[in-house]
Chains A and B, each alone.
Chain A
Amino acid sequence: MNEQTRQRVAQAQADLMRALVANGPIPAGFDDSRVRIAARSLVNKRRNALARIWPRLPTILGDKYIELFNAYAMANPMPECAIPKADGRAFLRWLESQKPLSDAARIEAFAFDARFSVTSRGIGRRRGFLLSWMRRNEAPGSVIVLRIPWLGEWWWGAG
């Protein structure tokens, strides 16, 4: 296989990908309306997958979940590991950049970061020693987590 052929096809695939997930122009020759529908359905799949594995996010955001996720997804392609839960963490970060998060949403982000780390290959579970806390904004008090390897993980004030 000659390298130029690979590069040419790779370029065509990258152009189509940008049209589908990064608001790029639709490459010549494709059925524009179908590519647009496919792009929308990719966003829907991301949103539904996230709602399934992280149901507290749609619960917290309520009626706004669909609208907010669509706005996020249209401006932000999937994280490199392409795992819905990592997409959810990035979604929370994007929400925070728009306006301050509610305590409920902040606790979701805090709990995720206490337990998981996102890499390009996937989501790893954190197992080392951890003592971390988050001050609530909407009421007095804090959320505290303590993890001691082999012994367990304890949460205070998260309820």
Chain B
Amino acid sequence: MTSSCSLGLGIGWRGELAHAIHRRADLGFVEILAEDFFLGEPLPAPLLQLQQRGVRIVPHGISLSLGSAEPIDSWRIDALANVAQLVQAPLVSEHLAFVRAGGLESGHLLPIPRTRDMLAILIENIHQVEAELPVPLALENVSTLFDWPGNEMDEAAFLTEILEHTESLLLLDIENIYANARNLGGDPLALLDALPLNRVAYVHIAGGIEKEGIYHDTHAQPIPNDVFALLEELCARAAVPGVMLERDDRFPSDVELNTELDAIAAATRRGAARRTSAEYTHHAPMQA
């Protein structure tokens, strides 16, 4: 499956940002936290208004634990499918991570080992979820402060294998790539070059903060310039169907939020312009 649904510019919907989101006319989609609606709560009025305006709603799950070697709770898959139906979602997304094991909850996304065994488990889990969902699934790469010992492949190879063996799409978090490169090493551009970018469903971008030499992916600070540059590099390499801002804390003023959304749109356009001009240059001799 390749990504075909065009989403445009988006943002993670949060109650604190509801007014700013409402006033922003160029949004193509918003992401909602799927778990907020797992027990059958109705959509709040501001989201219904966005939906009537034609803004697409994408449920984003954090608790499925796709990367758990323990079986996935089937009620969670049902709940995610119900939320997809409730909002007439074009697709849903989840993480390539685990959040529970041995009866404990982490409350946050934890990295999984990049081994053949984990890959087989993950692919089996994803197939199970794909079979139950009414819409396509997009899988998100996560950030981590540490890696598992004994990794058998790099992140690009691991993600590529997952996409090759499933129908799912990629939710590419560009800030997570940046954070991992800063904290664990590696070349983010080489990673982009190695990924099947035609499978990208949409892109996450966010800010973070450095503390004691470690970059924390907080979603609570402005997007660093290097992350904008990485978004431009991504868009210079492939046409991505959507890009969205994640802001989860220390909510900015409407002006700051709009400036950041404008900057995301601008970086996307700069990348796309580089791509089309490169394509033109590439094809020019043949047209002559």
Contact = CB atoms under 8 A, between A and B. Distances in A.
B117 A13 contact: no
A22 B147 CA distance: 19
A5 B124 CA distance: 13
Contact of B68 (A10, A29, A45, A78): A10
Given A17-B110, A121-B75, A9 B117 contact: yes
A15 B104 CA distance: 10
B151 to A, nearest CB: 10
Contacts of A21: 104-107
B69 interface: yes
A37 B145 contact: yes
B214 interface: yes
A5 B120 contact: yes
A122 B38 contact: yes
A12 B106 contact: no
Interface in B52-108: 63, 68-70, 75, 98-108
Interface in A14-59: 14-18, 20-22, 28-31, 34-35, 37-38, 41-42, 45-46, 48-49, 52
Contact of B214 (A8, A9, A28, A37): A37
Contacts of A12: 69, 113
Nearest to A38: B145
B149 interface: yes
A82 B107 contact: yes
B35 interface: yes
Interface string B148-179: 11100000000000000000000000000000
B69 A29 contact: no
A87 B68 CA distance: 22
Contact of B69 (A10, A52, A78, A82): A10
Contact of B149 (A13, A28, A122): A28
Contact of A17 (B101, B118, B214): B101
A6 interface: yes
Nearest to B116: A5
A122 B35 contact: yes
A104 to B, nearest CB: 24
Contacts of B103: 14
B104 A17 contact: yes
Nearest to A41: B216
A109 to B, nearest CB: 21
A20 B146 CA distance: 12
B104 A52 contact: no
Interface residues of B, number: 37
Contacts of A9: 69, 113, 117-118, 121
Given A45-B108, A48-B249, A122-B38, A35 B98 contact: no
Nearest to B146: A34
B104 A14 contact: yes
A38 B144 CA distance: 8
Interface string B211-224: 00010100000000
Contacts of B145: 34-35, 37-38, 41
A31 B146 CA distance: 7
A10 B70 contact: yes
Contacts of A46: 107
Contacts of B216: 41
A70 to B, nearest CB: 14
23 contacts: A5-B120, A5-B121, A6-B69, A9-B118, A10-B69, A10-B70, A10-B101, A12-B69, A13-B110, A13-B112, A14-B101, A16-B110, A17-B106, A18-B102, A21-B107, A28-B149, A31-B147, A37-B214, A42-B107, A45-B107, A78-B107, A82-B99, A82-B107
Given A20-B106, A30-B149, 17 more contacts: A8-B117, A12-B113, A13-B68, A13-B112, A15-B102, A16-B148, A18-B102, A18-B104, A21-B106, A29-B150, A38-B144, A45-B107, A45-B108, A49-B107, A77-B105, A78-B106, A83-B35
Closest 8 CB pairs of A and B: A29-B149, A14-B102, A9-B69, A10-B69, A34-B146, A13-B101, A82-B105, A17-B101
